[in-house]
Structure 1
Amino acid sequence: MGLTGLIARRLEQGDGPVRVGLVGAGKFGAMFLAQVPTSPGIAVTAIADLDPARVRRTLEGVGWRPDRIEATRILDDADTVVSADDVDVVVEATGDPWAGIHHARAAYAAGKHVVMVNVEADVLAGPLLAREAQAAGVVHSMAYGDQPALICELVDWARACGFEVTAAGKGTKYLPAYHDSTPETVWDHYGISGEQAAAGGMNPRMFNSFLDGTKSAIEMAAVANATGLAAPVHGLGFPPSGADDLPRTLRPRAMGGHLDGRGMVEVVSSLERDGRPVFRDLRWGVYVTVEAPTNYAGACFRQYGLVTDPSGRFAAMYKPYHLIGMELNVSILSAALRGEPTGAPRGFSADVVAVAKRDLSPGEVLDGEGGFTVWGRLTTARRSLSDRALPIGLAHGVRLTEPVRRGEVVRIGDVDLGTAHTEALALRRRLEDESRAALGLEAVPA
């Protein structure tokens, strides 16, 4: 039975709609909230945000009636929301990995399912979070509508159909110079003024993370850890590619493509390296490329109109757009009605490490994702652990104790992690210790 059928049955049985507690009401949360009035199977009973007044303005802006707003608790205390008796599913949409880890664990302890919009938290310690959720008998899920969950769906489709996945990922706007972008330069790259961005409520740090490659790395690490696909050890290549070129571009390098091997995550650019737009770009979309297992399958690709590489062996399926929070209901209902996630971290095979945007000196404080000091590069978990690299999720508010040159990876020994955010740090260290043992790497003294 589909989700709409399950909703109908639940309502007919008198069980009422699935009750949601939202933590973080930014852009993603706002787009989700816009769909709630037309979603009879979902009720938002409580919202936690650092700025409750802004939440009320958001609710008015997305079309909520005054009576619905008054019936919803709007708080600045997330712990109260995640433990509330009238919440079945917690949506964690803060984007703060440390906060996300705390909120998710508190939700599990209260017997709540968690839809983790906070991909940053999943990349920092997601496999252990998913394990804790399973032990508590609840679901930990990636957020449908966000690109990682949509990519995982395509990978699952391909494998269920018996195809070997050659590559999977998404599109974005990319040029190599973007890695140096800061919140002060980000709007120049987008071609708008700071005043226009402010009028549109656009957060410069968030948009800079999209631009400088960090968000792409985080999302691809999440996909790799959920699907078992491999991460490129030296980071994403961002090859320019339109939708029709995916089968040719995303095949192994030995066959003329851009991949280190089969079964990789990769992000394609909507810009050629000289800045020209790519024809039929996939900037807003997601894709999977597959290899025909037999000559017969390859012939079927051609017969049914699939664009292939010159060999006829590789083809792609893609979704050209995603609607982030407006599609989130799928995850909420899947968790509550089916007990299934729309993607979840299963292992630790990929990581995102902090790389200096400029020469950094001892005493400087790193400002994390989307900031002025570092950007996040995708790599394998093995390489990250071997290098003792600083995860991008721990690169905020920590002070450098050693100099780091532009383009170099910041290492754990280069910073003073201090004693703040001990819950997230302890969970990350446990993940690293388990992974070192599994990979046969030397243990690190406490």
Structure 2
Amino acid sequence: MNLSSMLAARAAGGRPVRVGLIGAGKFGSMILAQARHIEGLHVVAVADLDPGKARGAFERVHWPVEQYTAASADDALASGRTWITDDAAELMGCGEIECIIEATGHPLAGTRHALAAIAAGKHVVMVNVEADVMVGALLAEKARKAGVVYSMAYGDQPAAMCELVDWVRACGFELVAAGKGMNFCPGYRYSTPDTVWDYFDFTPEQVAAGDFNPKMYNSFTDGTKAAIEMAAVANATGLDCPKDGLAFPPAGLQDLAEVFKPASEGGRLEKAGIVDIAASRERDGRVVLNNIQYGMFVTFKAPNDYTRQCFNQYGLMTDKSGWYGSMWRPFHLIGLETAMSVLSACLRGEPTGESRIFRADAVATSKGHFQAGEFLDGEGGFKVWAKAIPASESVALNALPIGLAHHVKLKRSLETDQVVSLDDVDIVDDLDIHALREDQRRLLSA
């Protein structure tokens, strides 16, 4: 609880925390919106393949033009301004940059950027959960060996869930489940980029004017983002994914402790120690009372009857028995909070959530009947959704991770809801990523 004072001391000593941002999309824009108001934090450079898009992000979040027109990294360091470049390697080559924020959302690019940053001796804040769920455990191992921090991004839900899990364990409660809320019911699974705006309250004018990516929003709608994020949480905390994927039980705030406990105790979980989603819609589409659509939660059990009595005395939300309780955080503010991860890495040497084992995987699963010769189109597209399953199951199925399911050709036909195998597709490039995945199997946790 002292990051702000630690940063103030750095600033007073003329040593601001210097960072580089890769990716100027929605998340990157939110980071920039706050960065200018955090004294002692200097965004030295922003790398984006489209510098015009990056300039648009600065304009959108109300930076004065003169603050983002540095001519080079050296100019940015000397003037306190920010440099825009289309080459992420320039950020790795700047010795004064301490931390790289990877916010591209592209799993292959994110992996390569993280590897380059770690090799350059820089901390990595991995906004890119798509890359993290694919090879995060291996990246974290490499970072530890290099003496730098590899961290999930605070403000995003996985880091907040890791924080809640840490609270449960540090307090000595028995951890039962961790999860988040989500606007979901089963029919959403087959949403496409053409239909996605039907599930949101945005007007056509808002969509046209804002930084809205239909594939990205569709990833949230069809459950893919949930699978990616919950598998990442499992890898960071040692919790399990359900064997047949997330169940999305509908649950409001008042029901969390009742629903997210083992079925043997009257709940909906296949066992204790699992991740899942509290759906904000009933199966018929009705909105759940007191839903936690934007929140995160943990459920936990009292270790003894005295603690159980204290749960009641201090107003904790519990199940009917009083043994199971829930704690929650109602909102997450995405990139507006990510400076917490940067400062934690640079000032305390600690991640705000870190994949440590290969416990779970987010695997490509077919949205329909597709024939050999057709191409998959990856996260948020028309062809596949992601299913969160135990890593041991993924290895046994030789499953195709969702992060490698973009623009790959089918060698065999698929049926609806079939997990896609690497044997079903023709992989012709990016074999370095496949090699990393093979290496990561050393970190498989049964």
The aligned amino acid for 1:286 is M
Match of 1:427 among 436, 440, 445: 436
Distance 1:431 1:332 in 2: 26
Separation in structure 1 between the aligned mates of residue 92 and residue 296 of structure 2, nearest angstrom: 31
In 2, distance between residues paired with 1:126 and 1:200?
31
Does the 8 A contact of 1:125 with 1:431 survive in 2?
A: yes
Q: Which residue pairs with 1:443 in the alignment?
A: none
Give the 3-state SS of the residue equivalent to 1:46 in structure 2: strand
Q: What is the identity, as a one-letter code, of the residue corresponding to 2:161? A: I
Matching residue within 244, 250, 253 for 1:243: 253
Q: Distance in 2 between matches of 1:283 and 1:28?
A: 19
Cα offset for 1:12? 2.7
Q: Distance in 1 between matches of 2:65 and 2:392?
A: 53
Contact 1:213 1:376 in 2 (8 A): yes
Partner in structure 2 of residue 315 of structure 1: 325
Shift of 1:327: 0.3
2:180 alignment partner, one of 157, 165, 170: 170
Residue 242 of structure 1 contacts residue 279 of structure 1 at CA under 8 Å; is this kept in 2?
yes
> Are the structure 2 counterparts of residues 194 and 421 from structure 1 closer, same or farther at C-alpha, using a change threshold of 3 Å?
farther
1:373 aligns with 2:383: yes
Report the CA distance between 1:10 and its aligned residue.
1.5
Match of 2:302 among 292, 302, 312: 292
Q: Does 1:130 align with 2:129?
A: no
The reply on whether 1:28 has 2:27 as its aligned counterpart is: yes
Instruction: Give deviations 1:23-69, integer Å, cap 9, x for gaps.
Output: 00111111110001110121100001121112112112212122211
Alpha-carbon deviation of 1:162?
A: 0.2
- 8 Å Cα contact 2:137/2:443 also seen in 1: no
Query: Counterpart in 1 of 2:99?
Result: 89
5 Å matches for 1:218-233?
218-233=228-243
Indicate if the aligned counterparts of 2:235 and 2:357 stay in contact, CA closer than 8 A. yes
Encode CA deviations 1:350-376: one digit per residue, 9 max, x unaligned: 111111001011111111100010000
Find the aligned partners of 1:253 and 1:179 in 2 and give their Cα distance: 25
Alignment pair present for 1:57 and 2:56: yes
Match of 2:75 in 1: none
- Using the TM superposition, give the Cα deviation of residue 88 of structure 1 relative to its aligned residue in structure 2, in angstroms: 0.8
C-alpha displacement of 1:195: 5.1
- Stretches of structure 2 lacking an aligned partner (at least 5 in a row): 70-80
**Cα distance, 1:81 vs structure 2:** 1.6
Give runs of aligned pairs for residues 153-192 of structure 1, distance below 5 A: 153-192=163-202
Give the conservation status (yes or no) of the 8 Å contact 1:83–1:106. no
Structure 1 position 198, deviation (Å):
2.5
SS at match of 2:409: strand
Quick one: distance in 2 between partners of 1:417 and 1:98? 14
Give the conservation status (yes or no) of the 8 Å contact 1:169–1:267. yes
Q: Please tell me the residue identity of whatever aligns with 1:161.
A: C
Match for residue 160 of structure 2 among 134, 137, 150: 150
Q: Which 4+ stretches in 1 moved above 3 angstroms?
A: 191-196
Aligned AA (1:204):
P
1:341 to 330, 345, 351: 351
Distance 1:363 1:309 in 2: 51
CA contact (8 A) 2:374 2:409 kept: yes
**1:435 positional shift:** 5.1
Deviation at 1:192, TM superposition (A): 4.4
- Aligned length, in residue pairs: 435
If the length of structure 2 is used for normalisation, what is the TM-score? 0.95
Cα displacement (A) at 1:388:
1.1
- Residues in 1 aligned to 2:101 and 2:412: alpha-carbon distance in whole angstroms: 38
2:125 corresponds to which of 107, 115, 122:
115
CA displacement, residues 274-332 of structure 1 (integer Å, 9 cap, x when unaligned): 11111111000100111011111111011001121010001111000000000001100
Q: What is the aligned partner in structure 2 of residue 279 from structure 1?
A: 289
**Given the alignment, which residue of 266, 273, 276 partners 1:263?**
273
Instruction: Choose from 253, 258, 263 the match for 2:263.
Output: 253
**2:403 matched to 1:404?**
no
Give me the whole-angstrom Cα distance separating, in 2, the residues matched to 1:10 and 1:85.
Answer: 18
CA contact (8 A) 1:83 1:107 kept: no
Deviation of 1:72 (Å)? 1.3
Classify the secondary structure of the residue corresponding to 1:63: coil
Higher deviation after alignment, 118-127 or 55-64: 55-64
What SS is found at the alignment partner of 2:160?
A: helix
Q: Which residue of 2 aligns with 1:6?
A: 6
- AA matched with 2:231: A
- Cα deviation for residue 273 of structure 1 reads 1.1
Work out the CA distance in 2 between the residues paired with 1:371 and 1:193: 21
1:287–1:317: 8 Å Cα contact kept in structure 2?
Answer: yes
User: 121-130 or 3-12, which moves further after superposition?
Assistant: 3-12
The answer as to whether partners of 2:10 and 2:17 remain within 8 angstroms in 1 is no
Aligned partner of 1:442 in structure 2 is none
Q: 1:396-422 deviations in whole A, cap 9, x for unaligned?
A: 11110011111111111000111x223
